[in-house]
Amino acid sequence: MLIRYRRTEDGRAVAKALVYTEAEHRIDRSRIDPDAVRIIERLRENGHEAYIVGGAVRDLLLGRRPKDFDIVTDAEPSRIRRIFRNARVIGRRFRLVHVYAGPKIFEVSTFRSIANGTVGNEYGTMDEDALRRDFTLNALYYDPLEAVLIDYVSGFKHIGKRRIQPVIPLDTIFKEDPVRMIRCVKYAATSGFRIPFRTRLAMRRDAPLLAGASPSRLTEEFVKILASGASAAILAGLADFGLLAHILPAVDGRVARGAGGRRGFFAALEELDTYAADGSKEKRLSLLLAHFLKPFLEAEPSFLVDAPEAYQEAVREARLLLAPLNPPRVELEAAVLVLFKKRGLSPLQRPRRPGPERSRGGERVRHGEHSQTPVSPLGIPDAALSEDSSPPRPRKRRRKPASKKVEGGGATGDGGSQTPVPPPQEGHAAPRNDGPLSPGAAGATGAKPAPKRRRRRKKPADGSPGGAAS
């Protein structure tokens, strides 16, 4: 174990952090995402410090494979954005950078200062950043290049004792950010750590502060709970500490009505945890919400009825149950529709209206009825196909060919036959065949020339020559 020191005002060296080597912390480096390591290497190449921090380090110490890797550095967001072309700065007050590596997103933040408390937005040093984190198990920094663990707040020892210890004093930790109480219960449920007695007292004391928390932040934590695979244990802990009444008051009221409602609610949550723990299942929010809403909507038989009005009423009931949380409207409506579909109901499908009658092959059929004639995959009736024949092609309209001159003065028709010309009689001249049929030839062959249509103008009643055509 190594020790990092700092100098006091009078020049004395004081230990400020413990540095654990790879043989001491025993983190399996194969569980670290290679893209996270490359981001840290890139920041180091540009002259900045960079570490993996937060829940990823906690999971690595517990022998788990982290889902997300958060990175912290001394580079400011604008500088991070210039280093990584595939990055985007997010946030207004608390600015972060999302670095994209294919479909994965890595959150890169800058060291924060404690000059304005633990919720300020000023940049600071690494030791200040550690002191403004909520619990010691989230205040550990891991360097994957040198394989060392840096601990400013004894978090490594607290993880060994399986204890959730706040970094910030209990007088201010939950007052500055009430959402920290939800995270404390979540850490205890997912890791099996115990919450100290004084921390439990502070949570029960400050539970009403959750009513004034941002609905967006509460919704974000709620979605994480649904996808955690331990929602039953987390929500049971929230109910025991009196926190659920300020997060989901309608749900807490129904769960507290009787033992039957509580059993049905937590049975549905256990099904949700089984579903979320299965890596082959799709983790869309609508599917997770459907498991959560199932016991409440199925308790009212009038909701799950094959009618559009029942569906709209069920959506309104679901929104009241989740208030003041504000999940996306599309996901909430899709979750309610999932429950209808599981019962074989299609409330949004409009029934087909009978149309006017029409004739088809001598049979009177109403518009909208399906044909009973077997149809091939090509859309052609099977009766029109045989084993040795291909589907009939549509008939093409043929143009009538123009008359052609032939030797002897005749004209050929469609079949190419020649019309004979009778020999000239005495006293009559033979008809000429050096051009189109003349009137004499037309009379000889029996064909009449087509009369020319002329557009005649009617003379006006006053006899003037410039009258307009009627």
CB 75 within 8 A of CB 48: yes
Single out the catalytic residue among 59, 70, 129, 151: 70
Q: Is 70 a known active-site residue? A: yes
Single out the catalytic residue among 33, 59, 74, 134: 134
Single out the catalytic residue among 68, 127, 143, 252: 68
- Residues 6 or more apart from 49 whose CB is under 8 A from it? 43, 73, 74, 126
For residue 88, which phi and psi values (nearest 5 degrees)?
-145, 130
Q: Is 134 a known active-site residue? A: yes
Give the 3-state DSSP-derived string for the chain, with helices as H, strands as E and coil as C: CEEEEEECCCCCEEEEEEEECHHHHCCCHHHCCHHHHHHHHHHHHCCCCEEEECHHHHHHHCCCCCCCCEEEECCCHHHHHHHCCCEEEECCCCCEEEEEECCEEEEEEECECCCCCCCCCCECCHHHHHHCCCEHHHCEEEECCCCEEEECCCHHHHHHCCECCECCCCCCHHHHCCHHHHHHHHHHHHHCCECCHHHHHHHHHHHHHHHHCCHHHHHHHHHHHHCCCCHHHHHHHHHHCCCHHHHCHHHHHHHCCCHHHHHHHHHHHHHHHHHHHCCCCCCCHHHHHHHHHHHHHHCCCCCCCCCHHHHHHHHHHHHHHHCCCCCCHHHHHHHHHHHHHHCCCCCCCCCCCCCCEEEECCEEEECCCCCCCCECCCCCEHHHCCCCCCCCCCCCCCCCCCCEECCCCCEECCCCCECCCCCCCCCCCCCCCCCCCCHHHHHHHCCCCCCCCCCCCCCCCCCCCCCCCC
The rounded distance, in Å, linking the Cα atoms of 219 and 322 is 9
Query: Could you tell me the two tokens for 90?
Result: 């997010």
The rounded distance, in Å, linking the Cα atoms of 423 and 444 is 10
Active-site positions read 68, 70, 134
